[in-house]
Structure formats: C-alpha cells, structure tokens
C-alpha cells in the first residue's frame, strides 16, 4: 500500500448510530473480485461515495488522494476479499418462524398438517415484520445484500427490509384462496394495488412487485389481471411454476397442457416475468421460456429437501435463458446462506449431466450476482465497477478452510456465509466485524422465539 | 441451574499452554444432544474426567458436588448446544494443498494434468505434515473430532494428528504404481508393515490402518496381501471401490465382473473392510456387502463435484448395511465441514428417491457419529454417555440462522461448522471460543501458503 494511507490515516472506531449513506468508505489493502469471471486483483482498493462505488483500483494505481483522505470510514482489508454482495432471487422471508418445525415429511403431510395450519393461525403483521427481519439478519450475516421476497402482509416485510438496511424486491402475494391479510380472494388485486401505491418510489432500496402464487392456486383471470397490473405499473411479476410432478398432473388433467404452456397461452411470459422453480419442463417449455425471454429462478436446496427434483439449469443457460438462484423460504431449505446455495447449485448440476464441467463455480457466482441483479431489475448492481451501487461484502480469507487460495472458485466450493466479516449496502456499512449495525438483532431473535413458543414443539 | 454453581464457582480464564487430559471439565447450563435420536435436553450439564465422560444430567438432577467443584475448567453453556464430536470417515488430509487448484474439469484432465503431476512433484514428508495439520485445523474448527485418513507418507499425517490433538484412523496407502514415499510398488506391503510397527499401540488417539487404493490400481495379490496383513494385525482395511462408471468398465472388461464381486471373490469383504464410495452398485453387489457385513462410506460432495453419481445410501441402510459418511480429500469437495456433508447427504438421497422422507436429518447425524465410530472401530465414541470418550463439541445457538430451535434437525439443515465454538477431544480442550489451543494455526497456514506458491496459480 502507498505509505500515506497507513501513516496519515487512522481507522475510525465505530460507535453510536450507524453511518448514513452520505458517507464515503475506503477499503484498501484487500483482494478484489470485481466480477465473477475476472482474475482476482491482489492489493486492491475501493472507494464509495454516497450509495455508489466512486473509484476502484490496485496498489499500482494512484488512489484519488483528496477523496480517500476524506473517507469517513477506512477499512484495512489485509487478508480479506472484497466482492459484490450476493443476491437471493427467491425467498419467503417470514417463514424463518417455521425453520425446522417439520422436516423430512411427505409433501402433503408437511403442507396440510404443518405449514398451512401454522400459516393460518400464526401469520400476522407482527409475525411478518419480526420474522422477515430475522431473515434479513441471517442474510446480511452471510453476505446477501439484496433479496426478492414474496409473502403475505408484504408491507410489513418491506418495512423490515427498510429497517434492516437490506435492498429488496418485495412482492405482494396473489392467491385464489383465503389468505392471511386478504381473507376474501375477490380483494386480491385491490390489496396488491394498495401495496404498490404505498411502496412505489418510496425508498430507493425497495422495489415493490407482484407474486402470483402458482398456476394451480390462481385462476386464469387472476393471473392475467395480476400480470396486467405488473405491466402497467412496470414492476416485476413472479410466479411459482412447474415445481413438482404433482403440479404437472394438476395442470394436465383439467387443461391438457403443461404449466409453462398454460402461462404462455395466457400471455404471461415476457422479460419481466420471473418463473420460480421450473423443475419439471419439457423441451417445448424450454423453447417457450427462451422465445419469450422470461427469466427462471432455481432453488436447489428446496428442490432437494422437498424431493421436487433437479432443474435443468445448465441446459437452460445453454439455451440463453436467464437463470437466477434463490434459497426459497427457510422452512424448505432450511438456510438462507447463498454461499451454500451456490455450492449445491453447481454440484447438483454436475450430477444431472454426469459431467464435472457443468455449471462451473464461476457460473454459479454469476447467477448469484449479475444474473440475479438483471432478472430482478436491480440496475447497476452485482459487480464492482465505478458508478455501480455500493453493495459490497468483505470476507475473511485468513482461515484454514480458505487456505490456500488459487482463485475465486474457493468462494463457491469452500467459503460459507460465516466467512463474511463486513457488509455495505447502498453505501452504508450495515455490518462490521460480524456485528450488524443497522438494528438490534438480539431483540429480533427474542421476538421470534416468543412467537415460536406459540407453536408446538419449540425449544427456544 | 442450581445456585451453587453460579454463586460458588467462577469460570476459569484460560491462559498458557493447553490443559492436559488429566483435567476435569464441567460444561453446564447448556442444551444437550446425547445421541441423534434422543430429544434435546434443556439446561443440561456434563462432566469429564481424564479422557472420559464422567457424568451427565439435567438441572433437575443433582450434580456430583465434590467432583464438579474440582473441575479444572468450567464452561458456561448458556445459549449453546453440547453434542458428540462429528467423525469424518474418509479423507486424504494432505490434499488441502490442492484445494481449488483445478476445479470443474473433466475427470481425466483433472487427474492426469493437475492432480497426478502435482502429487508426483509436491508430495513429500514436509507437505504431508503441514497440509494434514491444516486439514486438522479446518476439521476441529468445524466440529470434527475424529478422522479416517489415507495418503502417502502416512506417518507424517499421523504425527500431524498427534500434534493437532485430533483422534484419527491413519491408513497407509497401497498402490501398484510408483508412489510418493514408495517408489517401487514391490516395497508396498513392507512399507505398510513398517508403518504399523511404528504406530500400533503408540498413542491412544491414533489407530493405524491399511488403505488399498482401489481394485483397478492394485493387483489381486496385493489386495489379498494387504487384507491379510490387516486381519493379522487387527487393523481396519479401507478400499476405494465402485466410484465411477469408468471404474465399472475397467473391471468388467478384463475380469467380466463388478468391482464389489471382484473384492468378494478375493475374500476381501468382512466386517473390518470399509468400502469407500460405492456409487455404482447393482443388487447383487448390495447383497454381497450385506452378507459379508462390510461397511460402506459415502462422500456425497465429492461424488457430486467429480460427477461420479449418487450412491444408494438410503437403500443400503434399509438392507442393514452400515453406511458412514466422509468428505473425501478436499481437492474434490472442496470443504472438510461435516455439517455441510450431512446436509447434502440427506438432501441428495431425497433427490434419488424423490421421497422427502428418505435419509432424514437424524439418520445423517447418526451416520456422522454412531455409525462412523462403529465402522472405524472407535470404541465408546459418538454419543454422550458416561464412560464414553470425551469427544465433544459446543455450538453457539444464539444466532439468527439457528433461530428458532425446534429440534436437532437444525444441526443438519441449518447449522454449519462455523457455529462450533469449543471442542474437546479425548478429554482435552483443543478449541475454545473458536481459537485452537493445541497448535499454532497461523504457522500452519503460513507453511501451506509457502508450499502452494511452488504450484502454478496460487494467489496466497
């Protein structure tokens, strides 16, 4: 490092309230992963200004001296790697309450005897707020800076993301059943409109969106109404589709077609539609997704744990379909750690093809950063480039399981969320030295434990 | 907790050299997982004496007062879970040097252009000692207290385990090629005999053993000679078998049989034989394993990453075959975290059967503790019972990703190695508050980085 940094600047000890986004942060003396496919840069530095990456370089460059000396926070990145924050493209955050409540059960038993009854009686505004905040804590601690969420009482979830410091696409649910917050499905689209009215343009970190539950739980006209509203309001449209073989039958029997062909026939597939799961697709389904440029999000651990199957992710990518990556809600995972998800994503695709070259570590990194940002409409997000949003994670590489380090594949096959030491979202330091600065996590854990005690079987 | 503990005993601050095994350790005020299938015990305590668990109970019991007050170390387990240490039943520890050196390659390219050349030129006594110690650090930090290792220069590996404080089954390799340490395969069995002479009965934590590489790299008479020596010396006998479809062909073409039937015909299958991998088995192979009571060890992540396939683990267990779990060497994984391995083990078996009830979290826990101990001949190891070895791990449960806690399934689907806070092996506190006390890990990382710099492409 140039001498002036270590001799004239002393790191600032954080105390008091979290810094605001108008601050400037300098991270120096670290390894840089600017984008999944670029070689790692040793001895690099990065400067933020407000919510944006202002400048970036290696020690060989000259740092912009006047600006770096004005940085409010200076972080010595010795032994650390600075990377773009990971993005989780599918979650039902509030379901942290049900984490591990009922595992290893038949799908029907799990849903009808455990998840649906618990949701019917224990999902309310308080639950969604605290349990989404718990999810945010877990995600920040494991290096996820943006999440796409979809659940009931989505306004409470959005507020939890605002308060936690995360970036989020918060999608209001639509389902043709009585649901928490919307007892009469006739009021479905009105509830969504109210939510959009409230959240569009309200906070630069929150993108409101619409999440239609699935082709087997929503009538055709509901799906079309929801998609039309998404198009008019220019917000993302999510839908669970082709998750299980049971779903194939549920669509095939009454309609004589596949779930994807059903969506295509309704005019729902376009570049702003994000199809979640897509485990059970045939060749024609793949062609339709490619033709309409609809995006896909895979949730590998959920697909394994619920025994849904194995999505053809590498084949989709080869056909030019944008494939993102998400954890799903943590009742069916049961972890929100995107490092774990990237690892299993890459490895299980090799199992599908029996080719060790399938879905490389770098491809998994790309899905969890650049592609997820692109799919979710998060502009200038997912890589370290001046002018891009300052969503950054700093990993502690000075650990046995990350030694030696040959290249960034280590992040997928060896690293884990717990290696993340500091997190910057939207230019704001929300975690430093594994301590979340943006809110009181102990308080959130206490609230969620209190809620869990009302469910059968909670230990603490 | 009874009052006397908090009022009359003050926790001892550790300083200076690590305690010896003659000490007594009391962990109190914690949640206890005594064995994979038992309900969690809240507010429990456990006392060690020497290398053994002396007593265990819940707050409702009376602690043995005179003994607990004599405990040299007292650990307040508030918010923590005490569990049996995990056991890794297959590893090539020294291969930490090659972690991430060459990923996502065709098997033949990976082996012949990267791994074999690196092994031929960079495997020596110094490398095996330091790189095995690095593996030990990673394993201890992630809650593994025992490992079954098999590599070249196994005496150096055994010494690394002695020095790191781990328990190990150290198996000397046998292969009918020129290998590091044994340039002429004619000297194979003699090298093994010398190793056994040196290590049998030498250290209570080290079980020497024999590891025949595979049926396609060892001649029939070598395999029989090695197995005969294992039987005479009463040590475990390991062999890689039926790992890939290529191996099936390599055996089928010259011998007209399957790898397992080949071993059975040579008389190699018995309860002291441990068959590693077993991905490609037919029904007759399964019957032979069951009939001869040979053990199997599955390495799920390695099988995925190398695109070997998916072993029929749950079917094997149903047929009464003992199925253990291991990470394999970390060049083909690339992590030695047994929590990660248990998670993927359980989840991928559900994919194989498309039944979410297959290989439950508790079954995975059982494989990684009780079954692994049984297979490796580690007596009185793998559960918390008075009289059993004091191999214990303490996990920090006061974290968002482990909240709420309904039961021990959380350890498989949500926990990760980084949650382990303290580790006791053979009654000795080898890690406290995530700091290894038994050796200088920084020094080991420095040595391994120095060795890695001699290989192409190392960053640090």
Give dist(CA A431, CA B311) in Å, integer: 41
pLDDT-above-70 percentage for chain B:
93
- Residue B347: its chain A contacts at CB < 8 A? 301, 304-305, 344
Residue B100 has its nearest CB partner, among A104, A358, A413, at: A413
What's the rounded Cα separation, in Å, for the pair A158 and B315?
45
d(CA A96, CA A94): 5
- Give the pLDDT confidence of B39-60 residue by residue, as tens digits: 999 999 999 999 999 999 998 6
Q: Give the model's pLDDT for residue B15.
A: 36
Q: CA separation (Å) from A246 to A115, A253, A285, B44, B347?
A: 18, 11, 17, 45, 19
Contact A356 B301 (CB under 8 A): no
Q: How far apart are CA B40 and CA B37, in angstroms?
A: 9
pLDDT in tens, A131-156: 999 999 999 999 999 999 999 999 99
B359 CA: distance to closest CA in chain A (Å): 8
pLDDT in tens, B388-406: 999 999 999 999 999 999 9
Q: Residue B411: what pLDDT?
A: 98
Q: Write the CATH number for A353.
A: 3.20.20.140
Dump pLDDT digits (tens) for B308-353.
999 999 999 999 999 999 999 999 999 999 999 999 999 999 999 9
- The total of structural domains in chain B comes to 1
Quick: pLDDT tens for A153-187: 999 999 999 999 999 999 999 999 888 888 899 99
Contact state of B448 with A137 under an 8 Å Cβ cutoff: no
**pLDDT of amino acid B325:** 98
What's the pLDDT band for A8 if we cut at 50, 70, 90?
very low
- Is residue B30 pLDDT above 80, yes or no? yes
Asked whether the beta carbons of A257 and A233 are under 8 A apart, the reply is no
Distance CA A376, CA A170 (A): 11
Domain presence at residue A71: no
Q: Which residue of A has its CA nearest to B412?
A: A334
Q: Confirm whether A389 is domain-assigned.
A: no
Q: What percent of chain B has pLDDT over 90?
A: 86
Residue B433 pLDDT exceeds 70: yes
**B179 pLDDT above the threshold of 80:** yes
Beta bridge partners of residue A275, listed in sequence order = A239, A296
Which pLDDT score is estimated for A18?
44
pLDDT in the model for residue B263:
98
Nearest-CB residue to B449 (from A40, A103, A404)? A404
For the cut 70, the answer to whether the pLDDT of residue A9 exceeds it is no
Show the tokens assigned to B230. 């294992």
The Cα B445–Cα A397 span in angstroms is: 11
For residue A80, the cross-strand partners are A396
Structure confidence at residue A372 (pLDDT): 98
Which residues are registered as beta bridge partners of B46?
A: B27, B56
Stronger pLDDT, A63 or A286, i.e. the higher one: A286
Inter-chain touch A358–B307, beta carbons under 8 Å: yes
Q: Which 3 state secondary structure label does DSSP give A12?
A: coil
pLDDT of A22 reads 56
Is the pLDDT reported for residue A62 higher than 90?
Answer: no
pLDDT above 50: residue A105: yes
CA distance A289 to A298: 14
Size of the A and B interface in Cβ pairs below 8 Å: 243
pLDDT for res B28: 93
CA-to-CA separations, B454 to A446, B114, B118, B130, B451, in angstroms, rounded: 51, 14, 10, 15, 6
Check whether A3 has a pLDDT greater than 50. Answer: no
Taking contacts as CB-CB distances below 8 angstroms, the residues of chain B near A101 are 406
Is 60 exceeded by the pLDDT of residue B74?
yes
User: Chain B: nearest CA to A388, how far in angstroms?
Assistant: 27
Task: Between A353 and A4, name the one with better pLDDT.
Answer: A353
- What percent of chain A stands above pLDDT 70? 93
Domain membership of residue A211 as a residue range: 91-375
Which chain B residues contact residue A361 at CB under 8 A? 103-104
- Euclidean distance between CA atoms B306 and A354, whole angstroms: 8
CA distances from A308 to A300, B205, B343, B360, B446 (A): 9, 43, 16, 16, 45
Instruction: Tell which residue, B395, B444, B403, has the closest CA to residue B75.
Output: B395
Q: Do A304 and B348 touch (CB under 8 A)?
A: yes
In a domain? residue A114: yes
Of B245, B333, B457, the CB nearest to A407: B457
Residue A413 reports pLDDT greater than 70: yes
CB contact under 8 A, B307 and A354: yes
Q: How far does the CA of residue A425 sit from the closest CA of chain B (Å)?
A: 19
State the pLDDT confidence band at B182, using cuts at 50, 70 and 90: confident
Cβ-count burial of B460 within 10 angstroms (0-12 exposed, 13-18 middle, 19+ buried)?
middle
pLDDT at A211: 98
Checking if the pLDDT of A10 tops 70, the result is no
Q: What is the pLDDT of residue B17?
A: 41
Contacts of A330 in chain B (CB under 8 A): 414
User: Residue A12's pLDDT is what?
Assistant: 35
* Residue B249 φ/ψ region, left for φ over 0, alpha for ψ in the -120 to 50 degree band, beta for the rest: alpha
ipTM, two decimals, is: 0.94
- Determine the average pLDDT of the residues in A246-269: 97
Interface touch A400/B137, C-beta < 8 Å = yes
Position A457 scores a pLDDT of 65
Judge whether B413 lies within some domain.
Answer: no
Specify the pairing of strand B25-32 against strand B80-84.
parallel
Summarised one tens digit per residue, pLDDT across range B13-28 is 333 344 444 589 999 9
Assigned token pair, A372: 């997820």
Provide mean pLDDT across the span B101-114: 90
Residue of B nearest to A142 (CA): B401
In this prediction, residue B107 carries a pLDDT of 83
Within B166-221, strands assigned E span 167-174, 206-212
Distance from CA of B165 to the nearest CA of A (A): 16
pLDDT tens digits, B193-242? 999 999 999 999 999 999 999 999 999 999 999 999 999 999 999 999 99
Is A42 in contact with B348 (Cβ distance < 8 A)?
Answer: no
- Would you place residue A89 in the very low, low, confident or very high pLDDT band (cuts 50, 70, 90)? very high
Asked whether residue A30 is domain-assigned, the answer is no
Q: What mean pLDDT, rounded, does chain A reach?
A: 92
Average pLDDT over all residues of chain B: 92
- Does A44 fall in a domain? no
Is A76 within the bounds of a domain?
A: no
pLDDT value for A459: 55
* Residue A424 domain flag: no
A111 pLDDT band, cuts 50/70/90, is confident
The separation between the first and the last C-alpha atoms of chain A, rounded to the nearest angstrom, is 48
């Amino acid at each position: 490092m140039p001498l002036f940094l270590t001799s004239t600047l002393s790191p600032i000890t954080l105390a008091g309230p979290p810094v605001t986004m108008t601050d400037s942060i300098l991270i120096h003396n670290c390894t840089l992963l600017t984008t999944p496919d670029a070689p790692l840069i040793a001895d690099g530095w990065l400067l933020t200004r407000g919510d944006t990456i202002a400048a970036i370089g290696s020690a060989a460059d000259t740092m912009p001296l006047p600006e770096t000396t004005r940085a409010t926070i200076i972080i010595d990145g010795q032994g650390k790697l600075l990377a773009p924050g990971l993005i989780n493209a599918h979650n039902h955050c509030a379901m942290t309450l049900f984490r591990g409540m009922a595992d290893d059960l038949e799908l029907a038993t799990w849903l009808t005897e455990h998840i649906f009854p618990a949701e019917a009686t224990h999902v309310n505004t308080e639950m969604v707020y605290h349990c989404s905040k718990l999810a945010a804590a877990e995600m920040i601690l494991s290096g996820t800076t943006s999440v796409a969420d979809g659940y009931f009482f989505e306004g409470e979830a959005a507020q939890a993301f605002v308060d936690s410091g995360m970036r989020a696409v918060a999608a209001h649910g639509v389902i043709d059943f009585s649901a928490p917050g919307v007892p009469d499905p006739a009021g479905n689209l009105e509830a969504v409109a109210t939510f959009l009215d409230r959240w569009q343009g309200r906070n630069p970190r929150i993108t409101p969106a619409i999440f239609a539950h699935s082709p087997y739980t929503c009538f055709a006209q509901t799906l079309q109404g929801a998609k039309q509203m998404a198009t008019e309001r220019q917000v993302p449209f999510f839908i669970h589709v082709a998750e299980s073989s049971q779903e194939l039958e549920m669509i095939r029997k009454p309609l004589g077609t596949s779930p994807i062909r059903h969506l295509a026939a309704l005019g729902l597939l376009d570049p702003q539609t994000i199809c979640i799961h897509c485990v059970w697709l045939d060749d024609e389904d793949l062609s339709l997704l490619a033709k309409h440029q609809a995006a896909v999000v895979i949730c590998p651990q959920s697909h394994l744990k619920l025994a849904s199957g194995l999505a053809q992710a590498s084949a989709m990518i080869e056909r030019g379909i944008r494939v993102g990556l998400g954890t799903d809600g943590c009742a069916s995972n049961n972890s929100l750690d995107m490092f774990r998800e990237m690892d299993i994503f890459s490895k299980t695709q090799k199992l599908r093809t029996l080719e060790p070259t399938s879905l490389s570590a770098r491809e998994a990194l790309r899905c969890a950063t650049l592609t997820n940002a692109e799919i979710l409409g998060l502009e200038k997000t997912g890589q370290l480039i001046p002018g891009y949003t300052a969503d950054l994670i700093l990993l502690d590489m000075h650990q046995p399981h990350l030694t030696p380090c040959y290249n960034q594949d280590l992040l997928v096959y060896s690293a884990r969320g717990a290696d993340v030491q500091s997190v910057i979202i939207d230019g704001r330091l929300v975690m430093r030295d594994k301590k979340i600065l943006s809110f009181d996590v102990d308080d959130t854990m206490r609230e969620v434990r209190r809620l869990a005690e009302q469910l059968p079987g909670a230990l603490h």
